[in-house]
Amino acid sequence: MSVELEHKPARAASRDVALIDLLDRLLAGGVVLGGDITLAAADIDLVHVQLRALITSVEPAMDRARA
C-alpha cells in the first residue's frame, strides 16, 4: 500500500514574493529589533544588556523628519 502526498508551498495572497521585495518593504517602513542578554553565574545576574535597533532606509526617514 502506497500513499502519495502532494506538498504545495504556502503563498501569501496567491503570489510569490521575492526576498528583495520583502526587504524593500521592510526598509521603507522601518523595523525595530530588540533583545535582552543576561550573563549569570550561580543563578546570580552579573550583567544585563537591553538591545534595541531601528533599521530603516535613509530616504523615507528623512521624508518623515521633514513632515
Q: What is the pTM of this model?
A: 0.42
Find, among 57, 58, 50, the residue nearest to 33 by Cα: 50
Which tens digit of pLDDT belongs to each residue from 24-38? 887 777 788 899 999
pLDDT of res. 46 = 92
Give me the pLDDT at residue 35, please.
92
Rg of the chain on CA atoms, in Å: 21
**Total number of domains in the chain:** 1
pLDDT of residue 15: 63
Q: Is residue 56 one of the residues assigned to a domain?
A: yes
Other beta carbons within 10 angstroms of residue 42's beta carbon come to: 5
Residue 9 lies in a domain: no
Segment holding 36, helix H or strand E? strand 31-41
Note whether residue 48 is domain-resident: yes
Confirm whether 1 is domain-assigned. no
Strand partners of residue 50: 36
Domain limits at 60? 19-66
Cα gap 6→14, rounded to integer Å: 18
What is the tens place of the pLDDT at every residue in 3-62? 555 655 555 555 677 888 888 887 777 788 899 999 999 988 899 999 998 887 777 777
